[in-house]
Amino acid sequence: MQIIERTRVFNGHYKVNQLIVQDGEHQLRREQFAPGKAVAALVFDTARQVYVLTRQFRIGPEAELLEIAAGMIDKDEAPETAVRREIHEELGYKIDKLEEIVCIWPSPGTSSEEITVYYAEVSHRPGAGGGLAEEHENIEMVELSREALVAEPLRDAKTIIAVQWMRLRK
């Protein structure tokens, strides 16, 4: 298969492309959700020995979800810079140690989104967290012990991946 044409058909908060794909003798039309690249991090406060997650309303499931801190990478921004910015904005922390876990395609059948997932250790919280007012974020910080996090019924894929990594490595 080869993409022979790409047209932006929606250019709002998120983007949607229409692709023409050559498959042998056949040309197929496919829509592609194109939100961009993102970062996410499982944050562990080493001073207090708790994992710090977020709870916020998410458009996809139309519900509040418990998940690791996450956000979009700005144009020409390095993933490491973006994850540091997002952790400070959402949780108020400065990162002491950062380790990449994996880069994933959460829904490759329909979306070009790519998420780099990290593990971050923190110990100093110079900011308030909660997200940016101008982005209308309403983020609740949730602190959990390892035992409580492992017992939590998670539904967000990137969070499940990060917690499974933690269970295997930490």
pLDDT in tens, 125-142: 998 888 877 777 789 999
The answer to whether 77 is annotated as binding is no
Fold topology of 35-169: Nucleoside Triphosphate Pyrophosphohydrolase (3.90.79)
Among candidate residues 107, 112, 115, 114, the one with its CA nearest the CA of residue 17: 112
Query: What confidence category does residue 61 fall into, taking pLDDT thresholds of 50, 70 and 90?
Result: very high
Give the span between the Cα atoms of 58 and 20, in whole angstroms.
31
Query: What confidence category does residue 144 fall into, taking pLDDT thresholds of 50, 70 and 90?
Result: very high
The answer to whether 67 is annotated as binding is no
The answer to whether 86 is annotated as binding is yes
**Range(s) of the chain covered by CATH 3.90.79.10:** 35-169
CB–CB of 68/105 below 8 Å? Answer: no
Position 156 scores a pLDDT of 97
The answer to whether 70 is annotated as binding is yes
pTM (two decimals): 0.92
